[in-house]
Amino acid sequence: MHIDWSQTQVYNTIMSVATGIALLMLVRFSQHVTRGDKISLEGWSIGFAIPGFILTLTGGAMTLTWPLSKIGFPFDDIIFGEPTLAFGVMLLGGAILIWRRSNLHHKAELSDKEAKQQSGVMTSQLIDMIRPLSYFAAAMGLALISIAIAGVYYQLFAAPPEEPISGRFADYPLLEASFISGLYAVTGIGAILLPFSLATRNPIVTRIMGLCWRVTGILFVLFGAMNYFTHIGLIINTM
């Protein structure tokens, strides 16, 4: 197998790591806000903006240029590019909203005691600000589940034999298809639960959503980190 890598690009590595970190940050941020912890809203807004920018940039490039079609995997441009672009834009939108809230918080110049008393008000305001984003998130959650079904049905995501580690399972395409599809499906379930969690503030719904994103966030980070080795090996083995 020979691939002309000067004619194509693969962004799955940093996309996977940024996605995983963003999911874990969402879970952690929601915990802080729910408990009324004193946090740096500017820090969290920048924290969301960085992976948001990376995912918007790489997802947008993949969505608009279809680089993977040049090596025979055009469907991967839809599978990886479009959800990544959507997630990146939502993260940037959320970062802006949190940054604006931080400015209002500073202008109030509350003492520690007053800030604690106002934590419930801040939580409600943040939920109201983020709720419109949750509807698009839920719609993309449905898209992720659809992608997961397609991944199993068509046995997608199998790595070529030339790729280290993952390529050892090239003869068992359903194995990696089930793993990646599972990641997409569980992430999608969490996204679908987001507007219900914000609307009802039901702790059970919130815990299920948090569990979905915590598990998939960790797996996305680990899988993306591993891909830095496997994708470098794939490039070397197919040059």
The number of beta carbons lying within 10 Å of the beta carbon of residue 214 is 16
The mean of the pLDDT values for the chain is 89
Question: What is the biggest distance separating any 2 CA atoms in the chain, rounded to whole angstroms?
Answer: 66
Which domains, and CATH codes, for the chain? 11-237 (1.25.40.600)
Check residue 105 and give its pLDDT: 54
How far apart are alpha carbons 67 and 232 in whole angstroms? 17
From residue 10, alpha-carbon distances to 19, 66, 67, 233 in Å are 15, 10, 7, 13
How far apart are alpha carbons 69 and 237 in whole angstroms? 19
How far apart are alpha carbons 187 and 100 in whole angstroms? 28
Structure tokens at 238: 């197919």
Evaluate whether 80 touches 86 at the Cβ level (below 8 Å).
Answer: no
How far apart are alpha carbons 156 and 38 in whole angstroms? 45
Tens of pLDDT, residue by residue over 132-186, are 999 999 999 999 999 999 999 999 988 888 999 988 888 888 998 999 999 999 9
Residue 208: φ, ψ to 5°: -65, -45
Quote the percentage of the chain above a pLDDT of 70.
92
Evaluate whether 209 touches 197 at the Cβ level (below 8 Å).
Answer: yes
Residue 122 banded pLDDT, cuts 50, 70, 90: low
Residue 3: φ, ψ to 5°: -130, 130
Evaluate whether 153 touches 182 at the Cβ level (below 8 Å).
Answer: no
DSSP string, 173-204: HHHHHHHHHHHHHHHHHHHHHHHHHHHH--HH
Residue 37 banded pLDDT, cuts 50, 70, 90: confident
